[in-house]
Amino acid sequence: MRIGVLAVQGAFAEHISRLALLGTEGFEIRQRKDLSAPFDGLILPGGESTAMRRLLKELDLLVPLKTMIQNGLPVFGTCAGMILLAKEISGGEAPCFGTLDITVRRNAYGRQLGSFRCREQFAGSEIEMPFIRAPYAERVGENVTVLAQHENRIIAVREGSQLAAAFHPELTDDTAVCKYFLQMVAKSPLNVV
């Protein structure tokens, strides 16, 4: 299994290190030519979503990655990655990929100084969740499964081959969320031979 990690900005190295810990190859996607080798899943890391969106366009990565996601490539977005995937962003900002049927509120938990950690249930397991200028989902579509909540706010969701979390599981020692994503990838119709 080979997982591409968007590496134009943000916490991509931490995701690659989590993948390696689980015996999975992760590689950086920095430019269009990085899409030429086959890969089984995609991670959109945390970072600054506005900068990431601009770089995706400038590097000619937005359209090919969106097409891959629409065609069923398993994708996992954390924090800014959740914003990039969202179909709607509160406040009227245009969506980036717009493939995940949720409405997100950016910086919903405040500024950098408002960062915090908590423990909540994720898909049936209690895990540590670091929040850094995190969003949350204000609305989820009919086909979206809520996987985690914090103080009655939706912080992790899944729709088909798309997984998104408002927190940063890659910044903890717990690999439960990464394992969940890798199981999604393994079960993807694109990867079943």
| Residues classed as catalytic | 79, 168, 170
Element (H, E) at 127: strand 125-131
Under a CB-based contact definition with an 8 Å cutoff, are residues 27 and 5 in contact?
yes
Structure tokens belonging to residue 39:
């890969």
DSSP state of 95: P
Percent helix, strand, coil in the chain, to 5, is 30, 35, 35
CA–CA distance from 99 to each of 77, 138, 155 (Å)? Answer: 12, 16, 17
For the chain, helix (H) and strand (E) counts, in that order, are 5, 12
